[in-house]
């Protein structure tokens, strides 16, 4: 694995996955997501694992999908790359997934944290869906999961302004399970995983499936709708301008085309 570190026996019955592209703030490129998908599949099949923690580092959980990898793509390119089949497989992980988030959890990074079953955040965590600032929109479940987690008004505000919220605010809005000082977030995530790992793994799997089922029937339809619109943003000049401006470290000039 090049972009993630895996410790299958991090603690008894607990595996740890660390996203590991620190220079790029763990931006989620296609290879990293493929590695994550394959690892989760292997851990799902490993009887010595009953709970899985996904984390980044103190500065970044993940600052989003890799903008540099997407910048030159057309809507058709994006459709053909079909990266969401990887996300779909990740979402089908049977074992409980805990995201331990410190620093940036933005765009695809926030979406990955929300794909997990629970989130433990550090006080320095920053959650957001800033895709709008680079001329696109969330594509990996952000418009669906964020809305369900924090309600329409706040979700709309975050998705339309791209502003970040702190771990404390995220806790207040119900996005995360617990917020703790930065020295404690891995400890808290591990403690939660340990508690779950003491339960019957069969009951945990079935209970997870059932909680998810409470909104997944609608989620499927919502995700399909979101994806189509996300691809459509790649048919706009504003997407090219927004991503290029990010890479060139300048302010974008949107023309509505």
* Alpha helices per DSSP H over 92-182: 108-115, 142-150, 152-161, 167-173
Is residue 108 flagged as an active site residue? yes
Residue nearer to ligand CO8 on the CB measure, 6 or 32: 32
Q: Answer yes or no whether residue 40 interacts with ligand CO8 by CB under 6 A.
A: no
Is residue 256 flagged as an active site residue? no
* Among the listed residues 25, 119, 150, 193, the single contact to ligand CO8 using CB under 6 A: 25
Contact between 123 and 169 under an 8 Å Cβ cutoff? The reply is no
- The residue range among 46-54, 100-108, 117-125, 183-191 that interacts with ligand CO8, by the rule CB under 6 A, is 100-108
Residue nearer to ligand CO8 on the CB measure, 13 or 56: 56
Q: 3-class DSSP state for residue 216?
A: helix
- The residue range among 3-11, 19-27, 43-51, 191-199 that interacts with ligand CO8, by the rule CB under 6 A, is 19-27
Minimal distance, residue 47 CB to ligand CO8, in Å: 31
State the Cα–Cα distance between residues 34 and 254, nearest whole angstrom: 33
Is residue 174 flagged as an active site residue? no
- The residue range among 9-17, 92-100, 128-136, 191-199 that interacts with ligand CO8, by the rule CB under 6 A, is 128-136
Show the tokens assigned to 181.
């000082």
| Residue 70 CB contacts under 8 Å (≥ 6 apart), including other chains | 78, 234, 243
Residue nearer to ligand CO8 on the CB measure, 56 or 138: 138
Query: Which residue among 15, 63, 65, 99 is the active-site one?
Result: 65
Q: Answer yes or no whether residue 63 interacts with ligand CO8 by CB under 6 A.
A: yes
State the Cα–Cα distance between residues 22 and 60, nearest whole angstrom: 8
Q: Which of residues 101-120 bind ligand CO8 (CB under 6 A)?
A: 104, 106-108
Strands (E), the chain: 4-11, 14-19, 51-55, 60-62, 97-101, 104-106, 118-122, 126-128, 165-166, 178-180
């Amino acid at each position: 694995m090049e972009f993630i570190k895996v410790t299958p026996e991090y603690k008894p019955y607990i595996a740890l996955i660390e996203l590991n592209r620190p220079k790029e703030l763990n931006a989620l490129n296609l290879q990293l997501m493929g590695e994550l998908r394959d690892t989760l599949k292997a851990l799902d099949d490993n009887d010595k694992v009953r709970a899985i923690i996904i984390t980044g580092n103190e500065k970044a959980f993940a600052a989003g999908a890799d903008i540099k990898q997407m910048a030159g793509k057309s809507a058709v390119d994006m459709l053909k790359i079909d990266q969401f089949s990887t996300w779909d497989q990740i979402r089908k992980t049977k074992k409980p997934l805990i995201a331990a988030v410190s620093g940036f959890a933005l765009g695809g990074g926030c979406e990955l944290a929300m794909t997990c079953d629970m989130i433990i955040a550090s006080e320095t965590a920053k959650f957001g869906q800033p895709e709008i600032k680079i001329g696109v929109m969330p594509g990996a479940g952000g418009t669906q999961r964020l809305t369900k987690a924090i309600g329409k008004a706040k979700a709309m505000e975050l998705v339309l302004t791209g502003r970040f919220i702190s771990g404390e605010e995220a806790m207040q809005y119900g996005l995360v399970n617990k917020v703790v000082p930065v020295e404690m977030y891995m400890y808290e995530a591990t403690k939660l995983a340990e508690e779950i790992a003491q339960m019957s793994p069969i009951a945990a799997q079935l209970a997870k499936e059932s909680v998810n089922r409470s909104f997944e029937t609608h989620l499927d339809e919502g995700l399909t709708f979101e994806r189509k619109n996300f691809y459509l943003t790649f048919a706009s000049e504003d997407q090219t301008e927004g991503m290029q401006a990010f890479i060139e470290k300048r302010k974008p000039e949107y023309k509505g085309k």
